[in-house]
């Protein structure tokens, strides 16, 4: 009791010394100002997310040449997200070049688009895993003398189930890198020069108020946003696309071409093997609508140049991770590891059960 009473004057004396010392005041003021600045920036970023995601009106595709005979090239177009990109761009007045592996599916989709939206269609049967120069030549022929203003790099592949990198089959590894990276880059090298020349030709004759823009969208993933154990090859391939796409954005901006990486969490699709949508897992139709409505806005990707996380729950998740534990933290890595170990265990159990049923 006596000790606590006698310590009070000492505390008062210490506090008084801080009040009297100019250096001590500055020492306290600097972290206070820094903390206030960080909080202000965080609030501004969150306000920008809300504004981009929930308030701004949908993008008008006339700036990309909609309803004036211009074309969009969509890869991986026969199913899922790619099919939705083709349908929704056609609905917005773009003619469509459909690029995918299965000729019969492309033909059916081309007929549906032509009949429903009264726009032009072309098809290119293209096996991205083959990395065959003949495929790239066919694509080049298909768009020759065609005014293209939009490219959607949607073709992609993940692992069949989560798998340790050291156990990844060579074919799966090579297919993922070839499809996600090599094919995406080669297709962009073929299509992007057409977009640049189309924009340049249009803008030499149009008035400044009606200047045409070009657009290159490339599908990213939370798997590339966060290093993902048990999906290491896929995760690395998508992280590569982040760096490449942002670099390309800087190169093509002077030519009037916007380049954007689109980050998504899970979407109901054949790749994700998820059939039932939820608040965090939209349908391809919902996801593509959010993407096309907000092109050019960062949504949840506030810290990343030429990048968007368009679907609202994905945007909030991205923002939360980036501004708490961080995408490269040990905590995020460990949580990701445990989640994909669990998914792998369930997938192996299901495979074993189905194998047993076949034997019976």
* Phi-psi region at 263: left, alpha or beta (left = phi > 0; alpha = psi -120 to 50): beta
Nearest-angstrom CA–CA distance, 91 and 239:
31
- Tell me if residue 234 is catalytic: yes
What CA dihedral angle connects 7, 10, 12 and 13, to 10 degrees? 180
Q: Which residue among 234, 265, 311, 328 is the active-site one?
A: 234
Joined tokens for residue 221: 């993933």
The two beta strands, 95-100 and 214-219, are unpaired
Strands (E), 131-198: 148-153
For the chain, state the CA radius of gyration. Answer: 26
CA dist 198 → 104, 179, 248 (Å)? 30, 27, 18
Annotated binding-site residue numbers for substrate? 221
Nearest-angstrom CA–CA distance, 299 and 314:
9
Query: Are the C-beta atoms of residues 75 and 155 closer than 8 Å to each other?
Result: yes
Q: Which residues of 247-284 are buried (b: 16+ CB within 10 A; e: fewer)?
A: ebbeebeebbbbbbbbbbbbbbbebeeeeebeeebbbb
Active-site residue numbers? 234
């Amino acid at each position: 009791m006596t000790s606590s009473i006698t310590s009070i004057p000492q505390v008062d004396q210490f506090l008084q010394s801080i009040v009297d010392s100019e250096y001590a005041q500055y020492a306290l003021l600097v972290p206070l100002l820094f903390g206030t600045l960080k909080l202000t920036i965080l609030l501004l970023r969150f306000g920008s997310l809300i504004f981009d995601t929930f308030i701004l009106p949908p993008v008008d595709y006339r700036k990309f040449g909609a309803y004036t005979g211009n074309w969009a090239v969509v890869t991986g177009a026969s199913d899922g997200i790619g099919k939705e990109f083709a349908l929704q761009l056609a609905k917005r007045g773009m003619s469509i070049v459909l690029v995918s592996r299965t000729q019969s599916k492309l033909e059916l989709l081309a007929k549906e688009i032509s009949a429903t939206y009264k726009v032009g269609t072309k098809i290119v049967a293209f096996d991205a895993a083959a990395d065959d120069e003949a495929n790239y030549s066919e694509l080049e022929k298909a768009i020759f003398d065609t005014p293209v203003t939009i490219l959607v790099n949607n073709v992609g592949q993940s692992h069949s189930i989560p798998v340790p990198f050291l156990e990844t089959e060579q074919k799966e590894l090579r297919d993922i890198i070839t499809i996600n990276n090599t094919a995406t880059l080669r297709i962009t090298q073929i299509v992007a020069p057409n977009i640049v020349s189309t924009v340049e030709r249009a803008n030499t004759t149009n008035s400044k108020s009606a200047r045409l823009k070009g657009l290159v969208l490339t599908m990213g993933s939370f798997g590339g946003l966060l290093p993902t154990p048990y999906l290491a090859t896929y995760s690395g391939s998508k992280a590569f696309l982040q760096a490449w796409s942002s670099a390309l954005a800087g190169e093509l901006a002077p030519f009037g071409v916007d380049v954007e990486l689109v980050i998504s969490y899970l979407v109901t699709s054949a790749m994700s093997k998820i059939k039932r949508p939820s608040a965090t897992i939209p349908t391809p139709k919902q996801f593509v609508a959010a993407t096309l409505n907000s092109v050019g806005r960062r949504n949840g990707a506030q810290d990343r140049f030429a990048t968007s996380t368009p679907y609202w729950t994905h945007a909030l998740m991205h923002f939360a991770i980036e501004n708490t534990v961080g995408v490269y933290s040990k905590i995020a890595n460990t949580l990701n590891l445990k989640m994909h170990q669990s998914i792998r265990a369930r997938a192996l159990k299901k495979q074993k059960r189905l194998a047993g049923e076949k034997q019976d």
